[in-house]
Amino acid sequence: MTLNDDDGEPRRQVGALPFRRGRDGQPKILLVTSRESRRWVIPKGWPMKGRKPFEAAAREAYEEAGLRGAVGKRPIGFYLYQKRLRNLDTVLCQVKVFPLEVRKQLKDFPEARQRDLRWFTPVEAAEAVSEPGLAALIRAASRT
């Protein structure tokens, strides 16, 4: 069963696309595993009361991956995916994605023991994620 908001619109989420330059000068993108299915995803979550969307995205990046850095105030795009809920229903979500230039990666953070983290080249990251919209967003972002 798929659940949406009453008006049929997807539920809105915010996410961060964490990036940095590798030692070789090439861009790298950090992905995290989801807690339930262990898929490679970007840090994301529900909007937070009292925080602007880009601030909530940066907060998710800290909680899920221990990242600190400069978050863009404008989204680079969005993608849709089916989120599986604890009761096994799914809900269609639209994730607004903000760029996050990583300046610091902490070893200890709230979800450190619940997720794996890995830096990928943009091509590897696009291949590792299962959502086609997120893969397209990664490819487009890495061309800029």
Torsions phi, psi of 135, nearest 5? Answer: -60, -45
For the question of whether the overall pTM of this predicted structure is more than 0.85, the answer is yes
Residue 8, pLDDT above cutoff 80: no
DSSP letter string, 27-39:
EEEEEEE-TTT--
- Report how far Cα 45 is from the mean position of its chain's Cα atoms: 8
pLDDT band at 7 (very low <50, low <70, confident <90, very high): low
Question: Where do we find the tokens 């994730």?
Answer: 95
Q: How do residues 43-58 score in pLDDT, each as one tens digit? A: 999 999 999 999 999 9
d(CA 121, CA 80): 22
Catalogue all structural domains in the chain, each as residue range(s) with its CATH number. Answer: 2-142 (3.90.79.10)
- Cα radius of gyration rounded to whole Å, the chain: 15
* Residue 5: predicted pLDDT: 46
